[in-house]
A and B are shown apart, each in its own frame.
Chain A
């Protein structure tokens, strides 16, 4: 199962890198989002998906699943959610002010 998830996250990384290398700003934002999702999947997979019981005191059992990767993923999801929102607003404002969503045209001019 872990191998399967890792392959999935690899495919997601590929798509994310392809999108990030685009010129269109919206596609870059989508690429960044996919990039962080692929990371979350990979974090889950490389530390083992489910090794045993839930790590609660009331649960009986010898083996517990490690809760730390989940905690990391949760934190990272919250942050990437906030950043995606910020990026979307930023991209929209840039489009309104500068009239373009093409990264090539955002290089700046010498007379500024």
Chain B
């Protein structure tokens, strides 16, 4: 039964290899991609159920027992994120099936998306620090291809920066892993947690934890986000949606994992630093979003703000704020996908990215307008939608921990976020129409199906929050109490 956790990694990877052989048969590629992602969603949803009934699932790869071999660990945090990541990928694919150009379809865009999904799922599920690096690379290499595919000037220009910054941060990741190995003598995360707890987190280990924070900050856009707005606005809309929904969130997940499981002993120092980094991230991200006049740039800066907000909750590290962070993380994956998909549809209708050239879309695309509007409300965290619950929990946790200043920063940036995306809505949907006859009915319809499904999910997260919280509280329990994770992974050897 424990084999179940490897399928979300294995199925997309194998299917990607198969698809390479059907380069010309695009219909078949689309069907196979869609079906395999559907199967992954079904399996991972079943895993969520299984974990909620039976507890953490551990798979020892190759039969090597825990601290010596590589393990895959399906705890609630990991399997929930796997399910949502696969679901979001399916939505981006639904949008992409009709909106990718022929060149993209013929040059392996679907295999690369599947490899990306495999790397993302692997990063969530692995229980070994170096294996995490390898899955990061799988994911990143796929993203390098996806960002440059098409070879336009802007794509080449931005992907050079993106690749360089990621290569350097990956090397830093290897350095940090090497340091940690030479200090503790293990790479298994559960074992690391045990050893660090035993040795006590002294100055050396705290320094290493900061190196990790730098690396994950670069990957997730925590404070070191300067590369993000440029590179996320270069690729076509479905791929940008996929990046915004998945890539930075993997960085956020690793911060959560490493700083709740391994380096949680010196919270005074590491978590306070993380909190102020998150605060600066929120401020700078919000100011960036307000100052831009291009849809893709505004939305990319919004990605940064939400990363700051989620990690603010993580840095408080109480039961409540961690639940809120996880809830908001899941909500953010869905709502970022929604807003990037609908935003991409708006761009494809007008054929430009400039806000000032937009006008009067609501007459011809009322459904798209409403979907975008709900996306805007979801980003800002307006009550009936899912974001509200997450934000309330994070802020409640923060206020009860006495962090008033950063909580106020979080609230104010939410307002700025609302203003920045509302600006897109007003400029593109209100006013006189400038569209010609042909434009009116031909474009932008392919965003409606995935958009509607995502809106239903986001609203469902708000209404069914009680039900979702049963899963999330199980995930938080592991984060607050790492011994559950350690016991599940290292069941054979007693400490």
Interface residues of A, Cβ cutoff 8 Å to B:
20, 25, 28, 32, 35-36, 39, 42-43, 46-47, 68-69, 72, 75-76, 79-80, 82-83, 86-87, 90-91, 93-94, 97-98, 106, 108, 112
Contact = CB atoms under 8 A, between A and B. Distances in A.
A20 to B, nearest CB: 7
Contacts of A28: 164
Nearest to B234: A108
Contacts of B230: 108
Contact of A90 (B156, B174, B177): B156
A36 B156 contact: no
Contacts of B170: 79
Contacts of A87: 163-164, 167
Contact of B187 (A68, A82, A93, A98): A68
Interface stretch (B178-186, B398-406, B442-450, B476-484): B178-186
Given A46-B182, A80-B167, A98-B153, 12 more contacts: A20-B168, A25-B160, A28-B164, A72-B174, A75-B130, A79-B137, A82-B141, A83-B163, A87-B167, A90-B148, A93-B156, A97-B156
Nearest to A89: B148
* Interface SS of chain A: helix
A106 B171 contact: no
A69 B186 CA distance: 11
Which 6 pairs from chain A and chain B are nearest by CB? A43-B178, A46-B182, A94-B156, A106-B157, A47-B182, A79-B137
Contacts of A20: 168
Nearest to B175: A39
A7 B387 CA distance: 51
Given A72-B174, A82-B141, A91 B160 contact: yes
A57 to B, nearest CB: 14
B71 to A, nearest CB: 15
B144 A86 contact: yes
Contacts of A93: 151, 156
A69 B141 contact: no
Contacts of B6: none
Interface of B: 130, 134, 137, 141, 144, 148, 151, 153-154, 156-161, 163-164, 167-168, 170-171, 174-175, 177-179, 181-182, 187, 230
Given A90-B156, A94-B160, A98-B157, A35 B144 contact: no
Contact of B168 (A35, A46, A82, A108): A35
A11 to B, nearest CB: 16
9 contacts: A72-B181, A80-B171, A82-B141, A90-B160, A93-B151, A94-B157, A97-B156, A106-B160, A108-B230
A53 B278 CA distance: 48
Contacts of A43: 174-175, 178
B148 A68 contact: no
Contacts of B158: 108
A82 B170 CA distance: 13
Nearest to A100: B157
A106 B161 contact: yes
B154 A112 contact: yes
B163 A90 contact: yes
Interface hub of A20, A79, A82, A93 (most chain B Cβ within 10 A): A79
Nearest to A40: B174
Contacts of A46: 178-179, 182
Contacts of B154: 108, 112
Contacts of B151: 93, 97
A112 B157 CA distance: 12
A62 to B, nearest CB: 18
A104 B384 CA distance: 47
A36 B171 contact: yes
B178 A69 contact: yes
A108 B163 contact: no
A83 B175 CA distance: 17
Nearest to A84: B167
Contacts of B182: 46-47
B160 A32 contact: no
B177 A83 contact: no
Nearest to A35: B171
A97 B153 contact: yes
Contacts of A106: 157, 160-161
B174 A39 contact: yes
A91 to B, nearest CB: 7
Contacts of B175: 39, 42-43
